[in-house]
Structure 1
Amino acid sequence: MKGKKTRMKRASVDIEETSYLPAIMKQLEELVSYEVLIGMKADDPETAIAGAVNEFGSEKQGIPARPFIRSSANKVNLAVTKVAKEHLKRLATGSLNVHAMLQEIGALGTAKMLANFDKVNGPALSPIYAKRKQGTKLLVDTDKLREAISFEVQKRATFKSKSWGKLPKKGRRG
C-alpha cells in the first residue's frame, strides 16, 4: 500500500511520517459501494417456484414450510461477520483487495447455506410423495434446487436525491 509522506520542521526537529489513511479510506469507500447477495438464484421458473414453496410452504397444496434460506441466515451472518473483521485488517494493510474479500465472503456464505440445506430434516414427507419420490431426503428430487444456491457481488444502489426523507411543507405536522 502506498503511503502519503509528510515532512515538518519545528523547533529545529525534523518530523517525517507516512500516512496510510488516504489509501485505507479509498479501500473502504470502494468496499461499501458493493454488496454480496447470498441465496437462491434460479434460471428457470420451475426451480424458483419449488424453492419458494419449500421455503414458505403452500397451504393450498398441503406442503409445510421447509426453510433452507431463512434458517441459515444467522449461521451465515456469524461466519461472514467473523471473516469480514479479519479481512478488514488485511484490506487496511494492502495485502487483500476489495473484490477478493467480497468473493471470499460470498463463497463462505454459500458454503454455510449449502451445509444448512443438507441438514433440513423436517417436517417429514407425506407417505404418498415419499413413495413416488423413492427416498426420504428432503428438498432433493433433482439437484436443481441445491445448485441454485449461490452468491453474487454487485454494485450497491445509491440515492442521490437531495429531498430523500423530506416531507413537502404541506404534509408536515406542526
Structure 2
Amino acid sequence: MNFSKLDALLNRIKALGQKEICVGVIAKTAPRTDQKARFSNAQIAAVHEFGAPNKGIPARPFLRSTLIRNKQAYTDTLATQMRKAVRQKQSPEQAYQQVGFKAARDVQQEIRHGSHAPLKASTIQRKKSSQPLIDIGQLHQSITSIVRDVDES
C-alpha cells in the first residue's frame, strides 16, 4: 500500500503548527525617520501601551486590548486559512500572514479611533491636535505583523 499522499498530508498539517504571528511595532523594521527622534517607535508604543506614571503619561493601550477583543475572530480566520493551506490552495505562511495583516489593520484602527485617555492641555497645544497616539503618524504606520518559526522566539 502506498502511503505517500497520507504522509504528504501529515507533513502539511505538521507544518501548520510551526509558525507564530507577531503583531505590533517590530523594532528592527520600524525605525523613526525624523532626525530629532530620541526614542524608537517600539519604545514609544511601549510607553503608550503601559503608561509612564513617573512622566505623567497615562496608559493608552491599543495593542493588547485590540488583540484580546478580536481573539475569536483571529482564531476563526486562522482556521479558515489553515483549511486552505491543508488543501494546498495556499502555503501555511500565507495563512498566517492573512491573520497578521488583519490584526495589524485592527490595531491601526484602534490607534485612530479608540477611546483613549485624553491628552494634557500642554500636549494639545504643542501638537495642535487632541488626538491621542497620533502626532506625526509614525507609530501608526509602524504597526505591522510578521510570521516566524516558533523556534525563533
Range class of TM-score, shorter chain: 0.7 to 0.9
Q: Identify the match of residue 32 of structure 1 among 3, 12, 17.
A: 17
Paired position in structure 1 for 2:82: 88
Paired position in structure 2 for 1:61: 55
What SS class does the counterpart of residue 80 from structure 1 fall into?
helix
Say which one has the larger Rg. 1
Paired position in structure 2 for 1:142: 136
Cα distance between partner residues in 1 of 2:148 and 2:70: 18
Cα deviation digits, residues 89-135 of structure 1 (max 9, x gap): 22222222212212212111111111122122321111111111111
CA contact (8 A) 2:66 2:110 kept: yes
Note the C-alpha offset of 1:32: 1.5
Note the C-alpha offset of 1:138: 1.0
Paired position in structure 2 for 1:21: 6
More strand by share: 1
After TM superposition, which residue ranges in structure 1, 4 or more long, deviate above 4 angstroms? none
Cα distance between partner residues in 2 of 1:90 and 1:74: 25
| Corresponding pairs, count | 143
CA contact (8 A) 2:82 2:92 kept: no
Paired position in structure 1 for 2:31: 43
Letter in 2 for 1:92: V
Structure 1 range deviating more: 84-93 or 39-48: 39-48
1:92-111 map, 5 Å = 92-111=86-105
Where relative contact order (Cα < 8 A, 6+ residues apart) is larger, the structure is 2
Structure 1 range deviating more: 110-119 or 20-29: 20-29
More helix by share: 2
The percent identity for this pair of structures is: 24
Q: CA RMSD in A?
A: 2.1
Cα distance between partner residues in 1 of 2:58 and 2:13: 43
Cα distance between partner residues in 1 of 2:129 and 2:53: 23
Note the C-alpha offset of 1:19: 7.9
User: TM-score, length-normalised on structure 1?
Assistant: 0.73
In structure 2, list runs of 5 or more residues that go unmatched: 33-38
